Amino acid sequence: MNLDYDFMLETLWLALPGILVTFEIALVASAAAVPVGLVLGIIRARRVPLLSQLARVYISFIRGTPLILQIFLVYNSFPSILAVVFARLGVEYNIFNLNPVVYAFIVFSISETAVLAEVFRAAITTVDKSQLEAAYSVGMTAFQGYRRIVIPQAMSAALPSLCNSITDLIKATSLAFTMSVMEITAIAKKQGAMKLSFIEAYLDIFLLYCILIFTVEKVLKILEKRARAYQQA
C-alpha cells in the first residue's frame, strides 16, 4: 500500500482552516444552548406545568432521533420557512444564496440545547431543596435565589457533563458536510474525490480530528480542574 504523502500534506494544509468553521459552529451552538438549556433545565427541575411537558417532548425527540435526521429535517424545511419569514418582513433576499453554515448553526443549536437542558436539569436536582428555601427565608426572590444560590452550586455539578457535551458537539460537527458546509471533513473529502485518493484524504481528517478533540478535551479538563479548585481544599 503506497500512500501519496505529498498529497496528504497538501490536503492537510487545505483542510486546516476548516477547524475554524468547526469552532465557529461549536461556539455559536454553545452560545445559544447554554442560556436556553439552563432555562429549560430549571423548567424541568421545577416541573413548571405545561412548559415542562413541552420541554420534555422536545428533549425526548432530540435524544431519540439521530443527529443526521435532524440535519435533514432542518436542511429541508428551514429554507422554505425562512423564505416565508423573509417575505413577511419584506426582506429582498434570495434564501438559496444563504451560506449553509447558517443551517448548521440552527441544527447544532437545537440539538445542543436539548442535551444541555438534561445536563442542567440533573445538576439542579443535585442541589438540595433547602438551599432555595434558605434563599427565600432571607427574602430573596425566586430569580435571586436561583441566580445567587442554586445555579452556582449546580454549575459545579454540571461541569464534567458540560465539558463532555462540548467535545461531543465538536465531534458531531463533522456531519456538517452533509449540508455542504466547508469544514474539515468537507474540504478533505472534496480533495480526495478530485484526486481519487480517498485513503489519504480520510487519514487527514482522522488525524486532524484526533489531535483537535484530544487537545480540546485536555484543555477542558484543565479548566474544569481550576474551576473546581476550591473543592479539593
Partner 1 sequence: MNPRFIFETFLKLLPYLTVTLEYVSLSLLFGTLLGFLAAAAKLGRNRPLRWLANAYTTILRCTPSVVLLFLVFFILPAVMRNYLRINVDAWPALFFVVVTFTLFLGASQSEVMRGAYLAVDRGQFEAGVSVGMTEWQSFRRVVLPQAFFFALPNLTNTVIYLFKEGSLAFTIGVVDIMGKAYLVNATNFGLKALDVYLALALIYWPLSVFFEWLGRLLERRFGYTQVKPEAGKTAESVRGRGRSSIRGVRA
Task: In angstroms, give the least distance from the CB of 173 to partner 1.
Answer: 8
Cell matching residue 8: 496528504
Name the residue among 37, 225, 54, 49 with its Cα closest to residue 122: 37
> What is the signed CA dihedral for 160, 208, 173, 214, rounded to 10 degrees?
0
For the CB of residue 72, give the shortest distance to partner 1 in the complex, in Å.
5
Closer to partner 1 at the Cβ: 105 or 177? 177
Closer residue to partner 1, CB minimum distance, 33 or 188: 188
Which residues are at the interface with partner 1 (CB under 8 A)? Answer: 1, 60-61, 63-69, 72-73, 76-77, 126, 156-157, 171-172, 174-175, 185, 189, 198-199, 202-203, 205-206, 209-210, 212-214, 217, 231
CB-CB contact of 113 with 37 (8 Å)? yes
Cell digits of residue 198: 480517498
CB of 125 to partner 1, least distance (A): 8
CB-based contacts of 48-55 (< 8 A; 24+ apart in sequence): 55/117
Whole-number Å distance between alpha carbons of 54 and 117: 13
Q: Which is nearer to partner 1, 52 or 167 (CB)?
A: 167
Considering the complex, what minimum distance in angstroms separates the CB of residue 129 from partner 1? 13
